[in-house]
Structure 1
Amino acid sequence: MQELLQSLLVGASLLLIAEGILPFLAPKIWRDIMTKAIASSDLNLRILGAVSMFLGLVLLYFIRS
């Protein structure tokens, strides 16, 4: 159980680092992307979220096997 918690915390940490790169390096581009995301429909955002989760699961499968 301890190993699972540690792995989840490492994953969350890496996610925060990855998400912070673009706003740190190119805040104008990040702001433009966020503006477009806010203007997108719920369906488009759901599709993007589903594709992102699927790719994450596939990547996790290959890493763990």
Structure 2
Amino acid sequence: MKDLLAALCLVAVIEGLLLFAWPLAWRAMAAQMLQLPPAALRRFGGLVLAAGLAGLWWARH
């Protein structure tokens, strides 16, 4: 449970850093994502999820 909380905190730090450092680029990316169809967002989400799981597996083994 402690590792899960640490991971969620790191996500918050990374998201906050991106918003702090590049707010206009983040806004433009969000606007572009609104234009994508749900299927494309789902595929992208699946790819990010798979990459995250692979990275977690690699880091733990």
Normalised TM-score (structure 1): 0.89
**Greater relative contact order: 1 or 2 (C-alpha under 8 angstroms, separation 6 or more)?**
2
Unaligned runs of 5+ in 2: none
Residue 12 of structure 2 is matched in structure 1 by: 16
Structure with larger Rg: 1
2:39 to 39, 43, 46: 43
Alignment RMSD, CA only? 0.7
Residue 58 of structure 2 is matched in structure 1 by: 62
Runs of 4+ in 1 over 3 A off after TM superposition: none
Structure 1 residue 23: deviation in Å? 1.1
Structure 1 residue 6: deviation in Å? 0.4
Structure 1 residue 42: deviation in Å? 0.3
Normalised TM-score (structure 2): 0.95
Q: Distance in 1 between matches of 2:36 and 2:17?
A: 23
In the alignment of these two chains, the number of paired residues is 61
Letter in 1 for 2:31: T
